[in-house]
Chain A
Amino acid sequence: MDIPYTVEIRRDTGLTNGKIGIWLFLASEVMLFGALFASYILIRTGAPSWPRGDTMLDVPLATLNTIVLISSSVTMVMAWASLMRGRFGTFRIYMGGTILLGFVFLIVKYFEYSAHFHEGALPHTNNFLAIYYTLTGLHGLHVFGGMVVNAYFWGPGAKLWKTNPTWFTNRVEHSGLFWHFVDLVWIFLFPTLYLL
């Protein structure tokens, strides 16, 4: 059966179901990463000493990754804007770019982790590394998840454009909100772990 307000907005709230749903989900994600940040604060303030980020981690590589992720946020919002302008081809290019940049991010992280493992800097070595791996690991999983959803909308899911372009545009927008959130978390993660 048709669920109302899946595609068109409900007048008194001005929103579609999906828009509310994704923001509620993001609210829960704020609390999830919040718990890990709170843990970071508690562990660090209780530690007799705490290494400065740049003494343990590769700042230039992470700065590159920051640029990569922010750029992917731009391509993501441009992908949605292309759909709003009715340009499906351009959407494909921008969405493809977003997924590609996501790949680059994960590959850089792979190299980062490998280098650490190689020199014996593992999660159990000390609490700095423990929280580093946990925070970036969970974030990385979210990057991967977002890429899977984006790939679906780039590929098999794109046929919805032909039958219900409004719904498709909305779903890409919602996926974009998740992607921007993942970028937002990194904006806080990067200075916290690498620069302080």
Chain B
Amino acid sequence: MSDHATTSMTGGDHAVDIDKHVRIYITVFVALMVLTIVTVAVSRFHLPVPIAVTVALIVAIIKGSLVACYFMHLISEKKLIYAVLAVTAFFFVALMVLPVVTVHDGFWIH
């Protein structure tokens, strides 16, 4: 009986591909470290809030995408998973945007 995961059963990668993946993991790790330093460094400039928020969000989205695409293997996932996440993303945005826009569109209640 084989003592390692039979690749065809997971529909995943062959042992050779794993080596490639490991190299990617290390690269992504370095990128994440750099971006962490960048985001902290930028925050020290105390930019005006809207700009600070935009920059911080962009950096976070890049970092998040790296984790999602490479550590979570989203970049090579199946269509079904993409569909579920796309729907989720849409509702997530609705939840972020609609309440604050609705409250601001009326009287501001303190």
User: Which residues of A approach B to under 8 Å, CB–CB?
Assistant: 7-9, 13-16, 19-20, 23-24, 27, 30-31, 34-35, 37-38, 41-42, 45-46, 48, 52-54, 59, 63, 66-67, 70-71, 73-74, 76-78, 81, 83-88, 165-166, 168-170, 176-177, 180-181, 183-184, 187-188, 191-192, 194-196
From A52, A59, A78, A187, B40 is in contact (CB under 8 Å) with: A59
Residues of chain B within 8 A (CB-CB) of A71 are 29
Pairwise interchain contact A35-B95, C-beta atoms closer than 8 A: yes
From B15, B57, B71, B84, A85 is in contact (CB under 8 Å) with: B15
Pairwise interchain contact A70-B49, C-beta atoms closer than 8 A: no
Pairwise interchain contact B6-A67, C-beta atoms closer than 8 A: no
- Find the A residue at minimum CB distance from B12: A84
Pairwise interchain contact A195-B92, C-beta atoms closer than 8 A: no
From B21, B26, B68, B78, A14 is in contact (CB under 8 Å) with: B78
Q: In terms of DSSP, what is the predominant structure of the interface of chain B?
A: helix
Pairwise interchain contact A166-B6, C-beta atoms closer than 8 A: yes
Q: Is B85 an interface residue (CB 8 A)?
A: yes
From B7, B29, B53, B78, A70 is in contact (CB under 8 Å) with: B29
Q: A180-B67, A183-B67 are in contact. Are A85 and B40 (CB under 8 A)?
A: no
- Which residues of B in the span 58-102 have a Cβ within 8 Å of any Cβ on A? 59-60, 63-64, 67-68, 71-72, 78, 80-81, 84-85, 88-89, 91-92, 95-96, 99-100
From B29, B53, B84, A74 is in contact (CB under 8 Å) with: B29
Pairwise interchain contact A20-B71, C-beta atoms closer than 8 A: no
Pairwise interchain contact A83-B63, C-beta atoms closer than 8 A: no
Pairwise interchain contact B95-A38, C-beta atoms closer than 8 A: yes
Pairwise interchain contact A46-B108, C-beta atoms closer than 8 A: yes
Best-buried of A59, A74, A77, A177 by chain B (most CB within 10 Å)? A77
Distance in Å from the Cβ of B100 to the closest Cβ of chain A? 5
From B39, B64, B81, B96, A195 is in contact (CB under 8 Å) with: B39
Distance in Å from the Cβ of A180 to the closest Cβ of chain B? 5
Residues of chain A within 8 A (CB-CB) of B78 are 13-15
Distance in Å from the Cβ of B32 to the closest Cβ of chain A? 5
- Which residues of B in the span 1-28 have a Cβ within 8 Å of any Cβ on A? 2-7, 9-13, 15, 18, 21-22, 25-26
Q: List 12 A-B contacts (CB under 8 A).
A: A14-B11, A34-B92, A45-B100, A70-B36, A73-B67, A73-B71, A84-B7, A84-B13, A86-B4, A166-B5, A191-B60, A195-B40
CA distance A177 to B59 in the complex (A): 21
Distance in Å from the Cβ of A73 to the closest Cβ of chain B? 5
